[in-house]
Amino acid sequence: MHPEQKPINLSTNNNIKLWKDKNMLNNYSAGGYIAAWCTKCRLELGHTIIAMLDNSPKRVKCNTCNGEHNFRTSPSEKKQAKPEHSAKKTKSQKTNYNEYMIRLTSCNLSTAKKYSIKGNFGKDDLIDHPAFGIGIVLSVIQINKIKIFFKDGPRLLIQNSEAAAQ
């Protein structure tokens, strides 16, 4: 038997085994249909092949949600594995959330600075954002990035933006 040839069962009713070249069975082409893992739907569904690379599908489009992504036969292993310490992290996040909510509701809102990407803010500054509302600066990550806690959770925003001044 040739190394690239494998026996396959094409008929489950008659148990007829035929020898076919592996490449003949995978006769994919752009515009053809294939079952693939949809990263948006998180299911194995029918897809249309958009791009090919070396006789195998490279990019596909889901026929259900119309999402385009790289061809996958199964979900990514990285996203399935969850760290064991996630419960501890969640508990500390809830504690911080409650602590910051108390600080947000108990502070004098008239002292809040209007948020602007040109502005310069420091840790524990009270910020009034036009879309997110009142928040507290948790940390200055870089000279142009700050982490602010709002009622709906923390957000990473920019500050000291030179592009806005021009």
The pLDDT mean for the chain works out to 75
**Would you place residue 135 in the very low, low, confident or very high pLDDT band (cuts 50, 70, 90)?**
confident
Domain membership of residue 86 (yes or no) is: no
Domain membership of residue 95 (yes or no) is: no
CATH number at residue 44: 2.30.30
Look at the pTM and tell me if it is higher than 0.85. Answer: no
pLDDT tops 60 at residue 30: yes
**Would you place residue 152 in the very low, low, confident or very high pLDDT band (cuts 50, 70, 90)?**
confident
**Statement to judge: residues 47 and 14 lie in one domain:** yes
Domain membership of residue 13 (yes or no) is: yes
Of 79, 94, 123, the domain-final residue: 79
The distance of Cα 154 from the centroid of its chain, to the nearest Å, equals: 18
15: domain range?
Answer: 5-79
Predicted pLDDT of residue 68: 92
- What integer is the mean pLDDT of 14-40? 65
**Statement to judge: residues 114 and 51 lie in one domain:** no
Which pLDDT tens digit goes with each residue over 67-95? 999 998 888 766 555 555 555 555 555 55
Which pLDDT tens digit goes with each residue over 7-18? 444 444 343 333
**Would you place residue 61 in the very low, low, confident or very high pLDDT band (cuts 50, 70, 90)?**
very high
Domain membership of residue 85 (yes or no) is: no
Listing DSSP states for the chain in one string gives --TTEEEEEEETTTTEEEEEEHHHH----TT-EEEEEETTTTEEEEEEEEEEETTEEEEEEETTT--EEE--SS--HHHH---TTHHHHHHHHHHHHHHHHHHHHHS-GGGPEEP-TT----TT-EEEETTTEEEEEEEEEETTEEEEEETTEEEEEE-S-HHHH-
The distance of Cα 108 from the centroid of its chain, to the nearest Å, equals: 37
Domain membership of residue 97 (yes or no) is: no
pLDDT tops 50 at residue 153: yes
Of 46, 79, 112, the domain-final residue: 79
The total domain count for the chain is 2
